[in-house]
Amino acid sequence: MAESFGSDPERYDRARPRYPDAMVERIVAAAPGPDVLDVGIGTGIAARQFQAAGCRVLGVEADARMAEFARRGGLEVEVANFEAWDPAGRAFDAVVAGQTWHWIDPVAGAVRAAEALRPGGRLTVFWNVFQPSPEVAEAFSAVHRRVLPDSPRNPWTRPALDAYLLIFTKAADGIRQVGAFGDPEPWRVDWERSYTRDEWLDQLPTNGDAGQYPPGTFDELLAGIGAAIDALGGGFTMRYATVAVTAARADAV
């Protein structure tokens, strides 16, 4: 599933939501300097936001297709699995990971981040989490029930934050186990974005489980979601919570 995201990097970069400026600004303000290592840089969505905030960004990306797209946008990217990546004596003020840390071993990743951080540097891993209105959640859930009646996974039947809780906990536990950081803490920024029907359907194929459905089923799911959005008036507003797990190196001054 992790390897599926690079199959269409242009769509991924176009359709995936950005991160709230308030989260980027908080990460930058908490770092001792402007040098940022972006783990799982992907197409460079978060990296460009950090650049716009005045940072120098180096990316690490396991998927060469995503890395090449980011490079075409002017970003410096090294292709490697982060757990095996070599800092080669370089040091950074912040190590960040947007929407990627759950693909990385939480302990090995924290070890590598500690090696790459300057004293006082901060590791911050963060995710955009859907917070749909009850009306939108029920409309989308009904489509999933109809198209995939036997599937145990319907992402709209419970609050998405509940599903992400395990991810947040694993990230924090991994940081604690390394012993090189202060106690991890949560940060959260709430925001929203309006979607047209076509904008929402454009981003659905960028989700990791899109390629896991039986042949033809995903097209049926897209058609059903499109019809549900039409019934909602042709568009809707999606609320998001961007949630971070963050910790500074313990030898901060």
The tokens describing 205, both together, are 């194929």
pTM of the model: 0.94
Q: Is residue 147 part of a domain?
A: no
Instruction: Between 253 and 40, name the one with better pLDDT.
Output: 40
Strands 185-196 and 235-248, sheet pairing: antiparallel
pLDDT at position 164 is 94
Please write the tens of the pLDDT for every residue from 15-68.
999 999 999 999 999 999 999 999 999 999 999 999 999 999 999 999 999 999
Q: What's the domain count of the chain?
A: 1
pLDDT band per the 50, 70, 90 thresholds, residue 252: very low
Q: What is the CATH number of the domain that holds 89?
A: 3.40.50.150
The tokens describing 71, both together, are 């490079």
Please write the tens of the pLDDT for every residue from 108-119.
999 999 999 999
Q: Say if CB 35 and CB 67 are below 8 A apart.
A: no
Q: Is the dihedral of CA 209, 4, 160, 166 positive or negative?
A: positive
pLDDT band per the 50, 70, 90 thresholds, residue 210: low
**One-letter amino acid of 27:** I
The tokens describing 73, both together, are 């946008």
Q: Is the pLDDT of residue 3 over 80?
A: no
Q: Is residue 19 part of a domain?
A: yes
Please write the tens of the pLDDT for every residue from 137-170.
999 999 999 999 988 888 999 999 998 999 999 9
**Which domain, by its residues, includes 70?**
2-132+159-191+241-248
Partners of residue 94 on adjacent β-strands: 36, 122
